[in-house]
Chain A
Amino acid sequence: MLSLRLTSLTHLFSPPSSTAIARRSPAILRRRNHHLRPRPLAASFSSQSAAAETQDRVDNSKNRVSDRVITPRSQDFNAWYLDVIANAELADYGPVRGTMVIRPYGYAIWEAIQEFLNVKFKETGHSNMYFPQFIPYSFIEKEASHVEGFSPELALVTIGGGKELEEKLVVRPTSETIVNHMFTQWIHSYRDLPLLINQWANVTRWEMRTKPFVRTLEFLWQEGHTAHATPEEAEKEAIQMIDIYTRFAYEQAAIPVITGRKSKVETFAGACKTYTIEAMMGDKKALQAGTSHNLGQNFARAFGTQFTDESGVREYVWQTSWAISTRFVGGIIMTHGDDAGLMLPPKIAPIQVVIVPIWKKDDEKAAVLNAASSVKDVLLTSGIKVKLDDSDQRTPGWKFNFWEMKGVPLRIEIGPRDVASGSVVISRRDIPGKQGKVFGISMEPSNLEAYVKNKLDQIQSSLLARAIAFRDSNIIDVSTYDDLKAAISQGKWARGPWSASDEDELKVKEETGATIRCFPFEQPQGIKRCLMTGNPAEEVAIFAKSY
């Protein structure tokens, strides 16, 4: 078993590997150790001697590809996650520690996220634009808590074009400062408000502990920035955007996030209020999947962003910012995946249906392939993302496993007997084995199209229902600190009334490893007493360990 478990990640482990990357960058080896559990086999590989075996190793790696096995999720969630990313070809490690290469299959998921959100942003009146990646250090310093929050993570460019720069430049960690600098020049009167913009960009945060998609030195995101004349409008905008994220999470990604407000301790550096969507991953850890900040006038005051209101008075603008990043892709993997690999909600799957033709004898092949490609055409024309795997290198069984591992929601099998009866076999990714398999679905176009669309919808909603059930069975209502500790130690989320101090919040973090994920918008009725102090509390908070 173990000998088959060499994935492309472990493949990178070995210094004398034929891969050019490993040889060139010692940093990669450091990173490997950082990210991965020790793998005895990999170690033995790395002890193999160098260049002479290159050819040999290339061949080995080729065989390995066909026999990829993923660590069972229940056995080691982190190892499972990394295996899925490697085997499903979602991403690869980048050449610099903590960076990653987003491969086409992973990028296509990001594109699906972009397509949905970009339309929603435009519908709500936002325009896209692009700000430079470099920010003068002096900008970052202007807003005190902002610089405090970000300074340890800043990547600084000090040399450009062979010369020392006069002022060091920050590679943007987020763009509030540069945006405000420009807003100050663009906003003059109330007629210029609201100013609603968004950009799709890469940002950099020099994190020490990294994990593909979830936390990388560089990541892709959208960042919205808005300026308003009144605090009410800004608040409304912040809420509107977190609502859009919530809807995206539920309706597209089938992730039942809990939407709420961050505690003061967890609020974005420089914001008055931070709203968040918190998702429960398969290991029950929380993932902050998107945030929307009401910035109040903090940045406006730091940058002098003022407007003349209708009565001619100069006022500071009220602002928001909000973002979703490639981290969301990590959330999708960790919410829906299972032991067989990835499981993608149909609405964001790059491939929604894979067709696997099955033939044994050569004389069957033509008819089967013919039927398969006409099925493909039917689905394509009805707007379904379909892939026909007609390669003759692999057995149908191998293909089943492969596309299951890639998380494709539906599989259509077509064999000679199906061709004869004018029907196909359809299997659901989310229901393993025979239960998920239906025989004898007519190939007749209108029937097939309707059937497939219906099934995709069912899968979409059943993924969501399953995730909701999982989430709800793992949130425990607590009324004392002991309850909370017990819940956290079981790896669950704890929900309980909270009105204690920031110090108490930090104490919880120190003693249990859990933080307040949010004060959910949906609050239970009734009188509440703080689980820590017993004082009256207005809200319940959710505590959990998080990524």
Chain B
Amino acid sequence: MDFSLFIFISFGNCQVATTPLHYHYQSIAEDGCSGNIDNNDGDNGAIKEQRAPCTLSESENPRVNRSATIALARFIRLRHLCNGIRCSSFTMAGTEAKKPAAKQSGGKKKEVKKETGLGLTHRKAENFGEWYSEVVVNAEMIEYYDISGCYILRPWSMAIWEIMQEFFDPEIKKMKIKNCYFPLFVSPGVLQKEKDHVEGFAPEVAWVTKSGESELEIPIAIRPTSETVMYPYYSKWIRGHRDLPLKLNQWCNVVRWEFSNPTPFIRSREFLWQEGHTAFATKEEADAEVLEILELYRRIYEEYLAIPVIKGKKSELEKFAGGLYTTSVEAFIPNTGRGIQGATSHCLGQNFAKMFEINFENEKGEKAMVWQNSWAYSTRTIGVMVMVHGDDKGLVLPPKIASVQVIVIPVPYKDADTQGIFDACSETVNTLSEAGIRAESDFRDNYSPGWKYSHWEMKGVPLRIEIGPKDLANKQVRAVRRDNGAKIDIASADLVGEIKKLLDNIQQNLFDVAKQKRDECIQVIYTWDEFVQALNQRKMILAPWCDEEEVEADVKARTKGEMGAAKTLCSPFDQPELPEGTKCFASGKPATKWTYWGRSY
């Protein structure tokens, strides 16, 4: 059977060079053998309190061995991975890394822990990859699973996805885009039609070959994206100009069986997304929609996730294969010096209309072909948010997407009026909830306030409110910001107004800080030497370019290496002035535009 027939087009152009995030889970497991594992039921369920971060100093905290327990939990999980479904690259990386890691980091880890007093064993600045994979697990966003590259989205991350949906879905409905649902399964016949567009998806498709005990006559593909599923119906449904525009969107899962290093949210074999597919009578309408959608994507990033992005157009080499042009919002991760494509909005032109015979009769009674767009954003957005805002204490959530914006923690003291404190906490939660603020309290009696502080810091809750005897006496609460640690006493009477102000402030501050960091990474260069130097310094490079495919291919070839090659990120819509006579940094030919370059995810 020839499984290379099928295909489709990389929706997000996310063919990526090897990621720098090498996940050596073993290294976390180094002192696992000393952990307090409850071993009474074998591999399953043996780990106690694995999800709680270790926070207090050892003398205060009965759970001193937690980090060891976490480590062992990971180790066991890794063994599951190795024994169960194997992803070759993953397993290999794991086994090779095992021993050296165990030797090196035994002492070092404890040091870090003491210094930071935290549940994270890795620092963002020192070991970004491991820091990331630790944060997404410890903040209870992701759970690893026996199938490599498939992750469980826990309520903490699902809520973020839902909040973004709650913004985006009504916005596209205002644009008269309607939701629908097309099947997960793609018949090879339809995929086959796309032979010309091979490169994209052929190697990534997962195939259903059996039902029950019997072999299927023809294997059936699982959608990597839905163009081939949807467009035959567009051909069927669109007859005359009155059927246009046809504007559909679906929220669904897609599967791309990649073998490169999987990374939670950023690159997983199954992910959630929305994919919009629209058809118009004229190119002008399609062009306008591309930008309208791109603006919504910018707003998701900048207004909700507090991440600065650059809107621009992809190069010919990086655009959606088969499309006319691709626009995107590009974010940047300063720690790794990599650009990351945030979301894409493509104008497909009439190429697909031609392939799928999506024709209509125009107002003059002539046969014409439709103009199409497609656009998507995925759960990758959440990963970018973690990378940009997270710190050594864990996740940092922008208030607008946090499912808990304010966590209220009682701080009882020996002889104090405990009930009074608890009542004040409940009242605070109620007052805030009534004002539309997502607030919760943590009344668990088996954890100390200090542990709770660290726990909710790990989970990234934007604001913590502490209420102790003194606060009770003074009719105030103490608010502590997650983003900068500032402590503010707020009179109970001013609660709602002040908290709202603070949340707005945090949202803005996160954006400002992220923007400042991103901007510091942007470097304007004019020559190849400057380019190489900037690349080595992990910059987001803005360079004058001649906009020729061969030149980009050449830059890729010349920068190939362990870190992955550099490529264009986008040509920003907002173009700085390009003085007459400026030369392309790579070819020396006359430059036609400014373009962002860099390594990317």
Residues of A within 8 A of B (CB): 8, 12, 18-21, 24-27, 55, 58, 61-62, 65, 92, 94-96, 99-104, 106-108, 110-111, 127-134, 136, 138-139, 151-162, 165-169, 171, 178, 181-182, 184-189, 191, 197, 201-202, 204, 206, 217-218, 220, 303-306, 314, 391, 393
Given contacts A134-B150, A314-B41, 9 further A-B contacts (CB under 8 A): A21-B232, A95-B190, A95-B229, A96-B220, A133-B270, A136-B147, A161-B206, A162-B3, A182-B143
Which residues in chain B, 389-423, are within 8 Å of chain A measured between CB atoms?
none
Indicate whether B553 reaches chain A with its CB closer than 8 angstroms: no
Residues of A within 8 A of B168 (CB): none
Q: How far is the CA of A160 from the CA of B208 in the complex (A)?
A: 9
Q: Which one of A94, A153, A314 contacts B182 once the chains associate, using CB atoms below 8 Å?
A: A94
Q: How far is the CA of A100 from the CA of B155 in the complex (A)?
A: 30
Contact with A along B90-124 (1 / 0, CB 8 A): 00000000000000000000000000000000000
Indicate whether B523 reaches chain A with its CB closer than 8 angstroms: no
The answer to whether B258 and A161 have CB atoms under 8 Å apart is yes
Which chain B residue lies CB-closest to A19? B236
The answer to whether A134 and B180 have CB atoms under 8 Å apart is no
A-B contact pairs, 6 of them (CB 8 A): A20-B356, A24-B187, A129-B154, A132-B270, A171-B222, A182-B152
The distance from the CB of A159 to the nearest CB of chain B, in whole angstroms, is 4
Q: How far is the CA of A62 from the CA of B248 in the complex (A)?
A: 22
Residues of A within 8 A of B161 (CB): 130
Q: How far is the CA of A304 from the CA of B45 in the complex (A)?
A: 7
Residues of B within 8 A of A102 (CB): 180-182
Given contacts A129-B155, A304-B42, contact A96 B185 (CB under 8 A): yes
Q: How far is the CA of A305 from the CA of B212 in the complex (A)?
A: 27
Q: How far is the CA of A112 from the CA of B151 in the complex (A)?
A: 29
Q: Give the top 10 A-B pairs by smallest Cβ distance, nearest first.
A: A127-B155, A104-B178, A160-B257, A206-B211, A161-B257, A132-B150, A99-B183, A130-B153, A156-B210, A94-B183
The answer to whether A107 and B50 have CB atoms under 8 Å apart is no
Which residues in chain B, 175-193, are within 8 Å of chain A measured between CB atoms?
178-187, 189-190, 192-193
The answer to whether B85 and A166 have CB atoms under 8 Å apart is yes
Q: How far is the CA of A507 from the CA of B88 in the complex (A)?
A: 53
Q: How far is the CA of A218 from the CA of B239 in the complex (A)?
A: 29
The answer to whether A166 and B357 have CB atoms under 8 Å apart is no
Indicate whether B323 reaches chain A with its CB closer than 8 angstroms: no
Q: Which one of A110, A129, A167, A217 contacts B185 once the chains associate, using CB atoms below 8 Å?
A: A217
Residues of A within 8 A of B536 (CB): none
Q: How far is the CA of A8 from the CA of B243 in the complex (A)?
A: 15
Contact with A along B147-167 (1 / 0, CB 8 A): 100111111001101100000
Indicate whether B203 reaches chain A with its CB closer than 8 angstroms: yes
Q: How far is the CA of A225 from the CA of B534 in the complex (A)?
A: 52
Residues of A within 8 A of B73 (CB): 185
Q: Which one of A26, A94, A314 contacts B189 once the chains associate, using CB atoms below 8 Å?
A: A26
The distance from the CB of A474 to the nearest CB of chain B, in whole angstroms, is 33
The answer to whether B211 and A156 have CB atoms under 8 Å apart is yes
Interface of B is mostly: mixed
The distance from the CB of A493 to the nearest CB of chain B, in whole angstroms, is 32
Indicate whether B575 reaches chain A with its CB closer than 8 angstroms: no
The answer to whether A218 and B86 have CB atoms under 8 Å apart is no
The distance from the CB of A217 to the nearest CB of chain B, in whole angstroms, is 7
Q: How far is the CA of A238 from the CA of B444 in the complex (A)?
A: 27
The answer to whether A157 and B206 have CB atoms under 8 Å apart is yes
The answer to whether A133 and B255 have CB atoms under 8 Å apart is yes
Indicate whether B480 reaches chain A with its CB closer than 8 angstroms: no
Interface of A is mostly: mixed
Q: How far is the CA of A162 from the CA of B205 in the complex (A)?
A: 7
Indicate whether B127 reaches chain A with its CB closer than 8 angstroms: no
The distance from the CB of B54 to the nearest CB of chain A, in whole angstroms, is 16
Residues of A within 8 A of B210 (CB): 154-156, 158, 168
Indicate whether B34 reaches chain A with its CB closer than 8 angstroms: no
Residues of B within 8 A of A21 (CB): 190, 232-233, 235-236
Residues of B within 8 A of A132 (CB): 145, 147, 150-152, 270
The answer to whether B187 and A162 have CB atoms under 8 Å apart is no
Residues of B within 8 A of A157 (CB): 206-209, 222
Q: How far is the CA of A178 from the CA of B153 in the complex (A)?
A: 13
The answer to whether A191 and B444 have CB atoms under 8 Å apart is yes
Given contacts A26-B189, A101-B181, A202-B252, contact A306 B208 (CB under 8 A): no
The distance from the CB of A532 to the nearest CB of chain B, in whole angstroms, is 33
Which chain A residue lies CB-closest to B151? A132
Q: How far is the CA of A133 from the CA of B184 in the complex (A)?
A: 11
The distance from the CB of B490 to the nearest CB of chain A, in whole angstroms, is 29
Residues of A within 8 A of B51 (CB): 186
The distance from the CB of B179 to the nearest CB of chain A, in whole angstroms, is 5
Q: How far is the CA of A61 from the CA of B145 in the complex (A)?
A: 50
Indicate whether B146 reaches chain A with its CB closer than 8 angstroms: yes
Q: How far is the CA of A178 from the CA of B253 in the complex (A)?
A: 17
Q: Which one of B50, B147, B240 contacts A134 once the chains associate, using CB atoms below 8 Å?
A: B147
Given contacts A94-B182, A157-B209, contact A184 B44 (CB under 8 A): yes
Indicate whether B340 reaches chain A with its CB closer than 8 angstroms: no
Residues of A within 8 A of B190 (CB): 21, 24-25, 95
Residues of A within 8 A of B257 (CB): 160-161
Residues of B within 8 A of A185 (CB): 44-45, 47, 50, 73, 143
Q: How far is the CA of A101 from the CA of B232 in the complex (A)?
A: 12
Which chain A residue lies CB-closest to B178? A104
Residues of B within 8 A of A111 (CB): 179
Q: How far is the CA of A189 from the CA of B51 in the complex (A)?
A: 12
The answer to whether B186 and A306 have CB atoms under 8 Å apart is no
Q: Which one of A25, A166, A168 contacts B187 once the chains associate, using CB atoms below 8 Å?
A: A25
Q: How far is the CA of A310 from the CA of B284 in the complex (A)?
A: 67
The answer to whether B212 and A206 have CB atoms under 8 Å apart is yes
Which chain A residue lies CB-closest to B403? A127
Indicate whether B84 reaches chain A with its CB closer than 8 angstroms: yes
The answer to whether A166 and B45 have CB atoms under 8 Å apart is no
Contact with A along B256-292 (1 / 0, CB 8 A): 0111000000000110100000000000000000000
The answer to whether B155 and A128 have CB atoms under 8 Å apart is yes
The distance from the CB of A328 to the nearest CB of chain B, in whole angstroms, is 14
Indicate whether B204 reaches chain A with its CB closer than 8 angstroms: yes
Q: Which one of A18, A153, A165, A186 contacts B211 once the chains associate, using CB atoms below 8 Å?
A: A153
The distance from the CB of B449 to the nearest CB of chain A, in whole angstroms, is 17
Q: How far is the CA of A130 from the CA of B154 in the complex (A)?
A: 7
Residues of B within 8 A of A204 (CB): 184
Q: How far is the CA of A166 from the CA of B48 in the complex (A)?
A: 31
The distance from the CB of B2 to the nearest CB of chain A, in whole angstroms, is 10
Residues of B within 8 A of A181 (CB): 146
Residues of B within 8 A of A127 (CB): 155, 158-159
Which chain B residue lies CB-closest to A200? B251
Q: How far is the CA of A200 from the CA of B301 in the complex (A)?
A: 25
Which chain A residue lies CB-closest to B379? A130
The answer to whether A128 and B162 have CB atoms under 8 Å apart is yes
Indicate whether B40 reaches chain A with its CB closer than 8 angstroms: yes
Residues of B within 8 A of A55 (CB): 367
The answer to whether B180 and A96 have CB atoms under 8 Å apart is no
